[in-house]
Amino acid sequence: MNIADLVRSLAGFAWLAAIGFGIMAITRAARNQSSRGFGSSALIVVILALVLTIVGAGLVFVNPEDRGVVISALAPKGYRDEALTPGLHWIVPFAERVQSYTISRQTYTMSAVSQEGQTQGDDSIRARTKDGQEVFIDASIIYSIDPAKVVQLHIDWQSRFEDQVVRPTARNAIRDAVSQYGVEEIVSTKRAEMEDKISEAIGVKLGENDLKLVDFLLRDIHFSEEYAAAVEQKQIAEQQAQQAKFVVEQRKQEAEQARQVAQGQADAQVIAAKGAAEARVIQADAEAKANQVLAASLTPTLLQYQYILKLAPGVQTIFVPSGNQFILPLPTNPSEPAAPQ
């Protein structure tokens, strides 16, 4: 309770006390009893109640979140030019009064959800995009009264500013901004840009009407049932296309893997064949060189000697066809006659 309320309360108690003393004085006078003391007390209490009433009527306490517009019968314009700031003030009793306005932030919500906004039922904003699609917008406007323009606000709008300024300004700005974008843009790439445009338009209009925009909140975007169904079908088709693309890519990877395996096997076979061929060439070269060395070392005498070595140990005589030479003269034994030719 502030001082002004306390003084008014005391004035009320004083008036009750004065009435009580007056009744007792009248009662004693009706009984032919002395009422001089009660009459004097009643007069004093009445004077006190009157003073307190006048003082209470002139005292005004303005809360920190408020500003007071003084409506004055004594001022030429009918009001004081400056609003009352927070604290205790004095006005002329019974000739002036104070109309309070809160400068705290206020929120005005328009929503399709019943009882969520200031208006009961579906209060979303219906708008059309530039490609003709119908959308429904849920939004909130956070605003406040400009403290420096409270007096002018009272003159222009009094308490009607919310219904006649905030609401129509927001709905018009939203419809105008939505009409500049396609339906795909406002739900994806251009949503933030659209919000900025709406916020700027609302801020300018509220400023012209003694209000300040604190923030604009685009809460939700709804679509017509037909468009929502079309969007759902499109999303399903896109998901199926993505799945098919994934399967194709998987098959490509598997085919590439198989190709690489086959290529590796073919390369291994080529390397193996090349190695075998090179080994065969090396072996053939070695054999050729060996044959060359062997051919170079063979002489008729050596050949005869090797031939003899191959004969059986007991062979003493060799018969050859008529007209052919002996391969080698047979060894002779002096004690034995020579073999017949």
Per DSSP, the chain holds a count of helices (H) and strands (E) of 9, 8
Give the tens place of pLDDT for each residue, 292-313: 776 777 677 766 666 676 665 6
For residue 100, give the nearest of 70, 60, 61, 68 by alpha carbon: 68
- Cα distances (angstroms) measured from residue 107 to each of 167, 213, 214, 238, 304: 11, 10, 10, 40, 129
Give me the pLDDT at residue 178, please. 93
If DSSP codes are grouped into helix, strand and coil, which group holds residue 63? coil
For residue 306, give the nearest of 316, 297, 293 by alpha carbon: 297
Q: Residue 79 and residue 154: Cα distance in Å, rounded?
A: 10
CA dihedral of residues 197, 201, 202, 204 (deg, nearest 10)? 140
> Looking at per-residue confidence, does 190 or 299 come out higher?
190
Q: Is the per-residue pLDDT at 165 higher than 90?
A: yes
* DSSP H or E run through 219: strand 211-223
Can you read off the two tokens belonging to residue 258? Answer: 């198989």
Give the tens place of pLDDT for each residue, 311-334: 656 666 665 566 555 555 545 444
CB neighbours of residue 23 within 10 Å: 12
Tell me which DSSP letter residue 84 carries.
B
pTM, rounded to two decimals: 0.59
Q: Residue 116 and residue 76: Cα distance in Å, rounded?
A: 45
Q: Please report, rounded to a whole number, the percentage of residues in the chain having pLDDT higher than 90.
A: 33
**Is 62:100 a contact under the CB 8 Å cutoff?**
yes
Question: DSSP for 91-103?
Answer: --TTTEEEEEEE-
Give the tens place of pLDDT for each residue, 112-148: 887 787 788 888 999 999 988 889 999 999 999 999 9
Q: Please give the domain boundaries of the chain with CATH numbers for all domains.
A: 3-100 (no CATH), 106-223 (3.30.479.30)
The pairing of beta strand 87-90 with beta strand 59-62: antiparallel
Give the tens place of pLDDT for each residue, 199-256: 999 999 999 999 999 999 999 888 877 776 666 566 666 667 777 787 778 878 888 8
Read off the pLDDT band of 335 (50, 70, 90).
very low
If DSSP codes are grouped into helix, strand and coil, which group holds residue 321? coil
**Is 21:36 a contact under the CB 8 Å cutoff?**
no
Q: Is the per-residue pLDDT at 198 higher than 60?
A: yes
**Is 72:30 a contact under the CB 8 Å cutoff?**
no
* DSSP H or E run through 220: strand 211-223
Give the tens place of pLDDT for each residue, 50-96: 888 888 788 889 999 999 999 998 888 899 999 999 998 988 888 99
If DSSP codes are grouped into helix, strand and coil, which group holds residue 86? coil
> What does residue 220 show for φ and ψ, rounded to 5 degrees?
-165, 155
Tell me which DSSP letter residue 117 carries.
S
> What does residue 190 show for φ and ψ, rounded to 5 degrees?
-110, 10
CB neighbours of residue 254 within 10 Å: 10
Q: Residue 331 and residue 341: Cα distance in Å, rounded?
A: 14
The pairing of beta strand 106-110 with beta strand 87-90: unpaired
Give me the pLDDT at residue 338, please. 47
Q: What angle, rounded to 10 degrees, do the helices at 3-30 and 36-58 form?
A: 160
User: Measured in whole angstroms, how far is the alpha carbon of residue 317 from the centre of its chain?
Assistant: 116
Can you read off the two tokens belonging to residue 139? Answer: 């939004």
| Mean pLDDT confidence for 271-282 | 81
